[in-house]
């Protein structure tokens, strides 16, 4: 029996063919969501790396170099332009226009307030309105508010 590999992109594809409406002006397009989901998948090892960094040092790095990671542009893949470690360990993903917005930003914000869970991550974006409808673990937060 053959196994089907259910990737985030496959899941978004299922949403597309299921007849979900693309007319909601607040929702990002499904194709864009697939690209963003692929970018998020690229952060799994980085989040683990930063969690280990935090457990060993009691603080989070503020740059790719400090974290011992390649330069941000080395993570370029598909719609993903770069993955940059920002102040206090924030992981910033920058996407090209295939994501729906050229230079669109997604940030994974670390939360270290619960020692029992280590580092938890909150996914936010100032660019992709309605992202939570297609990628439930992410939310839109307008930085000007």
By C-alpha distance, which of 66, 96, 58 is closest to 84?
66
pTM: 0.80
Going by their DSSP bridges, the two strands 91-95 and 104-111 should be labelled as antiparallel
CB 95 within 8 A of CB 138: no
> What tens digit of pLDDT does each residue of 92-139 get?
999 999 999 999 999 999 999 998 888 999 999 999 998 898 889 999
* Topology (CATH level 3) of domain 8-16+27-140: Glycoprotein, Type 4 Pilin (3.30.700)
Domain positions in the chain are 8-16+27-140
Which residues are 84's β-sheet partners?
Answer: 92
Q: Which helix (H) or strand (E) holds 48?
A: helix 44-57
Per-residue tokens: 60: 């989070």
């Amino acid at each position: 029996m053959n196994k089907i590999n259910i990737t985030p992109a496959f899941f978004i594809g299922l949403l597309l063919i299921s007849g979900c409406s693309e007319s909601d002006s607040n929702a990002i397009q499904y194709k864009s969501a697939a690209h963003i989901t692929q970018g998020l998948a690229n952060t799994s090892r980085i989040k683990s790396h930063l969690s280990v960094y935090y457990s060993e040092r009691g603080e989070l790095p503020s740059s790719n170099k400090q974290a011992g990671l390649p330069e941000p542009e080395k993570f370029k893949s598909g719609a993903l332009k770069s993955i940059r470690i920002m102040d206090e360990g924030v992981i910033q993903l920058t996407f090209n226009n295939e994501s729906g917005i050229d230079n669109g930003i997604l940030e994974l914000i670390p939360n270290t307030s619960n020692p029992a869970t280590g580092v938890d991550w909150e996914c936010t974006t100032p660019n992709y309105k309605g992202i939570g409808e297609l990628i439930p673990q992410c939310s839109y937060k307008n930085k000007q508010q």
